[in-house]
Structure 1
Amino acid sequence: MSDAPAYLPDGTLTFLPERLNHDPAVLRGLTNDEMWVALIVGAVVGLILGGPLAVATASIATLPTCMFLYMTLVLLGGGKLLRRAKRARPETWLYRRLQWQLAVHWGIGTQYLILHSGPWTVRRTNRLKRTAP
Structure 2
Amino acid sequence: MKPCLSFLLVLALASACRQPATHSPAAVEAAMSHYDSLIRKTDADSIAWIYTADGSLGNIAHGRDSIRRFLQTFKNVRVLEVSSTTKNITITADTAFQTGAYTQTALVNGKDTAHVRGSYEAEWLWGEKEGWKIRRMTTHPE
Same fold (TM over 0.5): no
The structure with the larger Rg is 1
- Greater length-normalized contact order (CA 8 Å, ≥ 6 residues apart): 2
TM-score where L is the length of structure 2: 0.28
Point out the structure with the larger helix share: 1
For normalisation by structure 1, the TM-score amounts to 0.30
